Structure formats: C-alpha cells, structure tokens
C-alpha cells in the first residue's frame, strides 16, 4: 500500500469535476422543491439534457450551444411534468417516475445516430498567472467555464432565496400555497417556472456528463446521478451551501474509492459505493426531529378552489 | 361492457394469430447486458444476431432485450422469451448463469446458450472465446510501449474470465519489460461510461500510460485521448473511432459464425448441449489492426505472437509460472488446462494487490 501514488492536487481537481453534474441537478431540484413540488424525474431530465446537448454540440461544433440546448431540452421535458401536476393535478410522485422512464426512452431514441461520435471539446478557462499558483492554481484555475457556472449558480440561488422578494414568494408558495394564493400570488405559474428551472439545471448537469466528463454519448449514461441528486437535496436539508458541500463529499467519495483501488488498498468497494446513501439516511433520521427543514407543502397538489 | 369484450376478443385473436405465424419460423432470443449501442461487448453480440437474420432471412425471427440487469431481472426476461415461443435463447453475460439454468429447467424444449459460464444442462450449452489470447498480445504491446512502466487495468467484476485476462496481459507485459507494474481498478460494472471514464482518469493520474479495460464502453478511450500520451486497446469491439491513437489495437469478438451454426442446428434438430471455447485460431477472437502508433518491430513481435497462438504452437499460460503467493502454478514448459483456466481465481506472481472477494 503506497498512498503517495495518489496526487492530492489531481484528486481534488478530479472530484470538483465529478461533483459538477450533481451540483447542477441538485440545485435545480432544490429550487423546485422549495416551491413545493417534488419532481422525481431528475434522472430523465438529465439524460434528455445529455443527448440534446450532445447532439447540438456535434451539429453546431460549439459546446456552449450544446449546453444552451441541454438547458432548453431539460426545461421542455419538465414542462410536461408541470402540465401533468399543475394543470391536470396528477400525483407528483407517479408523474416524476414516469418522467424519468420517459426521458430514458426518449434520449435513447434521439441518440441513436450519435453513438460513437466524439463531441467538440470545451477548452479550459485561461486564468493566466492564477493557474501558476502552487497547489491552488491547478486545483481551482484549470477547469472549464461550466464548472464555475455551477458554483456561481449555487451562490446565486442562495442569495435569491434568502435576500430577494422573488425568493420570498417562491418559499411562501412552497410553505403554504393557500396562503400565497390568498395573497394574490399565481401559485401554478410560480411552480411551473420553478419546475422549468429545475429541468434546465438538470439538463445542464446531464450535458456536463456527455460533453465534458465522459465525453461521449451512450444510452443510460447518467447512471443514477439524478437519484443521488434527489438524495443530496434532502441531505442538504434544502440549503444551497450545504448542498455544495454534499456534492463535493459525494463526488469525493467516488474518486477516493477509485484512487484507493489504484494504489492497492483492500477496502471493500461496496462500503464506499453505498456510503452516499448511508449518509443520506442518517441525515434523514437526524432531520426528522427538525420538522422545519422540508417545505411544508412539498408534494401536495394545489387547486385554487380548495 | 360489450365494447371491452369485443376488444378483449380482438386482442386474444390477434395474439393467437401472431403466435400461429411465429410457429413457422425459428425464433431466436438474445438477452444483452448493455445497450446495443455500447460500441463494445453487446454491440458485437448484436452484430451476431443481425448475421443470423441475414443468413436465414424469412426462416428466422430474432428478438432481443437490451440492458438486462444480471440476476432476477434476467430470469424474468428469459421466461418471457421462452413463453413467447423462442426456440433458442442466447444469454450473453456471465451473471446470467444461474438464471439461465433455472429457466432452462422450466422449459426443457427450449434450447439455451450461455456465454462465458461453466454450468451446463441437457438444454443449456456454454460458449466463450479465449479472450486471454488477445490479452497476451495486448500485454506484450503494453510492456514494450510503456515509458512510465505503469499499466492501468480497469476490471469489471472479479470473476475468472476477467482475472484470466489480467494474468495473461501481465505475464506477457513482464516478459517484454521486467519493470512493469499493474494498477488494477475494479469498476463493478460491465457498462457505465461515467464510472469507466473516472477509473481511467484515476489510473492516468497515478502514472499509467497504458490503460487496458475489461469494461464495455469507449469512455476510457476518450479519457486517454484527452490525456494525450496514453495508449489503449479496443475491448470486445474494434473501437476504431479512436484509432490510430490512443487505440493502438483491439480484441474483437466475432460471434456470428457460432450463432449461425447453432441456429442451424436447432432448425435441423441436431442441437446438443456442448461447451465451446474458441480462440484466435478458430476466428472467435479477432485482433484489430495494430496501428502505426506502434513501432514496426513491436508490431512484428505482436503479429508473431498472434500467429503462434493461432496455430497452437504457443499457449498464453506456459510455465514456469508461480501464483501471487509464490507457490508453483505451472512447471517449465507445462501449459494450463482448460479447467484451471475456467476457474482461475488467483493472480500470478508479480501482480500487487488482492482480488476483492
């Protein structure tokens, strides 16, 4: 066992990349849930975003166009969920699961002619002298722009939810849709927008996998990241900064597991593989004593007549 | 009420009609572990299926189910195929072994063919390819071309099939270059591009400049390409889209002749339970073109090795060889028998680390 073979700088830089798809998907779901909607279709929206982004990036030759298309694709798919749950008042859990299955199928169909193609690369940002700082330089300043966007998105979500009127209204809708309605806020419209934001973010997260992390298209390539994102929102008890921390933790564990194997440490891999879920369960147990964490109207349907 | 009854009758009639029509054809089912678009293992099996369709045209009907999880799920899929009237079912992953045996016991008239397993029954054959012969060639090229003397290996599951490949590659890498070290990462999946890409990146970060993979997607190839100075080999399929660099050669599975022969046997009523294990010589294992990124002398050595494996003058497991713990495995000149190879659960001497249990 020789731990010195693990380069800590590359390791940390590696898990920042591994965590980014999680950050996008989870921050989108966090906003959706803050508005009182439980969308279990994250996996479906991610994979749809992954193929939309991949296809457009290949067709236009521009990865950034691909990311834009991924956001649009994810948002469009989430609109279907919004229609089902906000207009026809269908059950959110069932609709969300259906959305995941639908997204997996749809993406496989869309992606048929894109198997085995190499997408255009999105280059790393150039920070000039900053990248030459020892230790910090290679960790923080050698990434692509989308990774920084994910970080900025978390900060922005936190600020908007905490300090702005829009954030207050969004939280009000999630805590008590009846009260928000009585105050004259358009609950359905606000929730639809939140769902679309969640869809767009999930789409971006999916595209990050297909365009940067892997980078290629294969069916089912998101492989459960959407479900981890859902667990992560609970883990973070609906708080953006905790979510960022959790994403790095989960991303770090996957990287650590592979690194340890590479240097020959005999840790049963299964323990590390299930640790994100274990931690989430423990956090859930602790959280259950604190009833204030989850938005009060999470998962409940709203109709103006009620 | 009336309408529902009418519809039900119609549906039943339709069902009967399709079943009746299907009777005239030989129906061949395929159970795949990954998607047919994986570009590797399942992709090649599906090419075999298409070859069966082409060979027999109207006389055969093929069905397949892709991305079937190993375990109970696969049992359900196989049962459904058998109930739908399949005459012959190919189950194409190691983890389908027990499910195949279970389902076969329930359908004695349906023939089953299980890939890479070792359990047989009157209506269950097994078939596999001697991939380890291809691994020997990869090991040789890897040993000759590595500059860091670190070779990364992405394993799927710690089963004999995969361990055999690691040993074969290692033996020949060491033969070509005594300083070579192997770093082995187990991905615990046959197909998960994100995980495979991560594994490849980690191996590269830890100094590997050759990455061998026993997983099915092309993601490690993409990771190597990005790193720039790392060579890889196509797994199960040619993966030529990454040639000539980083992919410098490949192991190609060619199932088509076997699938056609076995389907023919079912049609003729001559099918019997057999155990087939063919290698380079029989054409079941192909070696993809060795690209120009490989120096000419290394390429010539690799081709000579291939020729000697093909004509049987050389066996990839030839003594003297010790097991990892130093106990003797093969005496000088002795070759491993198929039974030992089929159940191989140990590393050979020189590989570091333990096989996960």
Q: Using the beta-carbon criterion (under 8 Å), do A11 and B205 form an inter-chain contact?
A: yes
pLDDT digits (tens, 9 = 90+) for A86-139: 999 999 999 999 999 999 999 989 988 887 778 888 877 777 787 788 888 888
pTM above 0.90?
Answer: no
ipTM: 0.73
Q: Which CATH class is domain B131-253+285-312?
A: alpha beta
Q: Which token pair is A188?
A: 């359905």
More confident residue, A187 or A286: A187
Nearest-CB residue to A262 (from B37, B185, B222): B185
Mutate which of A16, A209, A258 to disrupt the B interface (most B C-beta within 10 Å)? Answer: A258
Contacts of B202 in chain A (CB under 8 A): 14, 255, 258-259, 262
Mutate which of A54, A122, A262, A272 to disrupt the B interface (most B C-beta within 10 Å)? Answer: A262
pLDDT at A3 over 70: no
pLDDT digits (tens, 9 = 90+) for B148-175: 999 999 999 898 889 999 999 999 999 9
Q: Using the beta-carbon criterion (under 8 Å), do A268 and B356 form an inter-chain contact?
A: yes
Q: Using the beta-carbon criterion (under 8 Å), do B67 and A220 form an inter-chain contact?
A: yes
Instruction: Name the band, by pLDDT with cuts 50, 70 and 90, for residue B17.
Output: very low
Q: Using the beta-carbon criterion (under 8 Å), do A258 and B241 form an inter-chain contact?
A: no
Instruction: Name the band, by pLDDT with cuts 50, 70 and 90, for residue B22.
Output: very low
Nearest-CB residue to A115 (from B39, B225, B354): B39
Q: Using the beta-carbon criterion (under 8 Å), do B202 and A263 form an inter-chain contact?
A: no
pLDDT digits (tens, 9 = 90+) for A100-109: 999 999 998 9
Question: B351: distance to nearest CA of chain A, Å?
Answer: 10
Q: Using the beta-carbon criterion (under 8 Å), do B198 and A118 form an inter-chain contact?
A: no
Mutate which of A219, A255, A263, A274 to disrupt the B interface (most B C-beta within 10 Å)? Answer: A219
Q: What percent of chain A has pLDDT over 70?
A: 93
| B2-129+255-278 CATH fold | Rossmann fold (3.40.50)
* Sequence spans of domains, chain B: 2-129+255-278, 131-253+285-312
Contacts of A111 in chain B (CB under 8 A): 37
Q: Using the beta-carbon criterion (under 8 Å), do B202 and A115 form an inter-chain contact?
A: no
- Mean pLDDT (chain B) is 88
Q: Using the beta-carbon criterion (under 8 Å), do B352 and A262 form an inter-chain contact?
A: no
Contacts of A143 in chain B (CB under 8 A): none
Q: Which token pair is A93?
A: 């859990």
Q: What percent of chain B has pLDDT over 70?
A: 94
Taking any CB pair shorter than 8 Å as contact, residues of chain A touching chain B are: 5-7, 10-11, 14, 18, 108, 111-112, 115-118, 121, 209, 213-216, 218-223, 225, 254-255, 258-259, 261-264, 266, 268-270, 273
Contacts of A254 in chain B (CB under 8 A): 195, 198
Q: What percent of chain B has pLDDT over 90?
A: 53
Mutate which of B34, B37, B238 to disrupt the A interface (most A C-beta within 10 Å)? Answer: B37
Q: Using the beta-carbon criterion (under 8 Å), do A7 and B356 form an inter-chain contact?
A: no
Question: B213: distance to nearest CA of chain A, Å?
Answer: 14
pLDDT digits (tens, 9 = 90+) for A56-68: 999 999 999 999 9
Contacts of A251 in chain B (CB under 8 A): none
Contacts of A263 in chain B (CB under 8 A): 183, 206
pLDDT score at B219? 87
HSE of A8, CA atoms in CB hemisphere, 13 A: 5
Mutate which of A109, A116, A260 to disrupt the B interface (most B C-beta within 10 Å)? Answer: A116
- The reply to whether B2-129+255-278 and B131-253+285-312 are identical in fold is yes
Q: Using the beta-carbon criterion (under 8 Å), do B38 and A218 form an inter-chain contact?
A: yes
Instruction: Name the band, by pLDDT with cuts 50, 70 and 90, for residue A257.
Output: confident
Instruction: Name the band, by pLDDT with cuts 50, 70 and 90, for residue A222.
Output: confident
Instruction: Name the band, by pLDDT with cuts 50, 70 and 90, for residue A33.
Output: very high
Q: Using the beta-carbon criterion (under 8 Å), do A262 and B203 form an inter-chain contact?
A: yes
HEC assignment per residue over chain B: CHHHHHHHHHHHHHHHHHHHHHHCCEEEEEECCCCHHHCCHHHHHHHHHHHHHHHHHHHEEEEEECCCCCCHHHHHHHHHHHHCCCCEEEECCHHHHHHHHHHHHHCCCCEEEEECCCCCECCEEEEEECHHHHHHHHHHHHHHHCCCCEEEEEECCCCHHHHHHHHHHHHHHHHHCCCCEEEEEECCCCCCHHHHHHHHHHHHHCCCCEEEECCCCCHHHHHHHHHCCCEEEECCCCCHHHCCCCEEEEEEECCHHHHHHHHHHHHHCCCCCCEEEECCCCCCEEEECCCCCCCHHHHHHHHHHHHHHHCCCCCCCECCEEECCCCEEECCCCECCHHHHHCCCCCECCCCCCCCC
Rg of the Cα trace of chain B? 22
pLDDT digits (tens, 9 = 90+) for B83-106: 999 999 999 999 999 999 999 999
């Amino acid at each position: 066992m020789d731990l010195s073979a693990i380069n800590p700088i590359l390791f940390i830089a590696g898990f920042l990349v591994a965590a980014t798809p999680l950050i996008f998907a989870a921050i989108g779901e966090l906003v959706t849930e803050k508005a009182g909607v439980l969308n279990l279709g994250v996996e479906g929206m991610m994979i749809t975003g992954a193929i939309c982004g991949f296809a457009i990036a290949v067709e236009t030759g521009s990865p950034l166009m691909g990311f834009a298309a991924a956001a649009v694709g994810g948002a469009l798919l989430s609109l279907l969920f919004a229609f089902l749950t906000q207009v026809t008042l269908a059950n959110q859990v069932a609709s969300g699961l259906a959305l995941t299955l639908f997204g997996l199928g749809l993406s496989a169909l869309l992606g048929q002619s894109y198997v085995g193609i190499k997408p255009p690369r999105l280059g790393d940002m150039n920070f000039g002298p900053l990248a030459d700082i020892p230790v910090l330089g290679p960790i923080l300043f050698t990434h692509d722009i989308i990774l920084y966007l994910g970080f900025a998105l978390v900060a922005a979500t936190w600020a908007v939810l905490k300090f702005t009127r829009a954030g207050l209204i969004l939280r009000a809708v999630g805590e008590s849709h009846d009260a928000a309605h009585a105050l004259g806020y358009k609950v359905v419209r606000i929730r639809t927008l939140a769902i679309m934001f969640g869809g767009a973010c999930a789409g971006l997260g999916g595209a990050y996998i297909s365009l940067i992390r892997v980078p290629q298209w294969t069916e089912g390539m998101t492989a459960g990241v959407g479900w981890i994102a859902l667990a992560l929102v609970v883990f973070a008890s609906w708080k953006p900064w905790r979510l960022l921390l959790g994403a790095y933790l989960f991303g770090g564990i996957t990287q650590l597991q592979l690194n340890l194997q590479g240097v020959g440490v005999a840790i049963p891999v299964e323990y590390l593989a299930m640790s994100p879920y274990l931690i989430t369960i423990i956090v859930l147990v602790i959280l259950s004593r604190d009833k204030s964490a989850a938005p009060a109207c999470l998962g409940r349907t709203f109709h103006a007549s009620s | 009420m009336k309408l529902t009854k009418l519809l039900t009758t119609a549906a039943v009639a339709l069902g009967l009609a399709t079943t009746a029509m299907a009777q005239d054809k030989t129906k061949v089912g395929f159970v795949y572990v990954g998607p047919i678009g994986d570009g590797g293992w399942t992709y090649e099996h599906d090419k075999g299926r298409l070859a069966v369709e082409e060979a027999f045209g109207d006389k055969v009907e093929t069905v397949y189910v892709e991305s079937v999880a190993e375990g109970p799920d696969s049992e359900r899929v196989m049962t459904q195929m058998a109930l739908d009237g399949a005459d012959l079912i190919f189950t194409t992953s190691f983890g389908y072994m027990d499910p195949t045996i279970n389902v076969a016991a329930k359908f004695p008239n349906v023939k089953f063919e299980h890939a890479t397993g070792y359990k047989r029954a009157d209506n269950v054959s097994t078939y596999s390819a001697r991939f380890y012969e291809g691994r020997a060639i990869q090991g040789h090229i890897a040993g000759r071309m590595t500059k860091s003397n670190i070779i990364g290996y992405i394993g799927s599951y710690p089963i004999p099939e995969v361990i055999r490949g690691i040993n074969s590659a290692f033996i020949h890498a060491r033969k070509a270059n005594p300083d070579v070290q192997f770093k082995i990462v187990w991905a615990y999946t046959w197909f998960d591009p994100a995980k495979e890409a991560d594994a490849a990146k980690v191996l590269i970060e830890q100094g590997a400049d050759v990455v061998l993979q026993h997983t099915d997607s092309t993601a490690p190839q993409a990771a190597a390409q990005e790193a720039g100075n790392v060579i890889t080999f196509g797994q199960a399929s040619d993966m030529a889209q990454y040639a000539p660099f980083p992919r410098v050669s490949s192991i190609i599975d060619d199932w088509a002749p076997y699938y056609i022969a076995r389907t023919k046997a079912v049609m003729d009523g001559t099918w019997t339970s057999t155990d087939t294990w063919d290698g380079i010589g029989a054409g079941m294992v192909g070696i993809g073109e060795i690209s120009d990124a490989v120096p000419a002398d290394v390429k010539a050595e690799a081709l000579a090795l291939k020729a000697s494996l093909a004509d049987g003058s050389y066996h990839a497991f030839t003594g003297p060889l010790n097991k990892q713990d130093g106990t003797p495995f093969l005496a000088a000149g002795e070759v491993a028998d198929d039974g030992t190879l089929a159940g191989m659960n140990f590393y050979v001497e020189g590989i570091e680390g333990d096989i996960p249990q």
